Amino acid sequence: MSEQITCSQALLTAGNACHEIDRVLRDMLTHHRPGYLMLPADVARAAAIAPAQPLLVEPAPADENQLAGFCEHASRLLRGSRRISLLADFLAQRYGLQKTLREWVAKNACRPCDDAHGQGIVR
């Protein structure tokens, strides 16, 4: 069942636990989606050797053409509006965009608000 709602899953064994945990975490951070780890009781009690290197995940580069197209289209839509409101939620935080969001709000004349899941994101 977890395959339908997660980006990555693993059944941990004493031999693969450290590698599989890192793999699932890397996928979760890359895809910004949940992961699933099945941790049997015997594996939970087994000794583990920590990986030699810390888990590093490089953010995927943005598609510049897609970004430019979005910005152009959004600007065209917003240009003709008398009043603009911005609704932010937890995804701004999940993608690490709080600072960018606050800067955009400060630079543009709009009314920011956040929903129950994103309380405090804009302010």
Mean per-residue pLDDT for 109-119? 70
Say what the pLDDT of residue 117 is: 67
For residue 73, the model assigns a pLDDT of: 93
Closest by CA position to 26, among listed 51, 45, 1 = 51
**50 pLDDT more than 90:** no
pTM of the model: 0.62
Nearest to 102 by CA among 89, 112, 94: 112
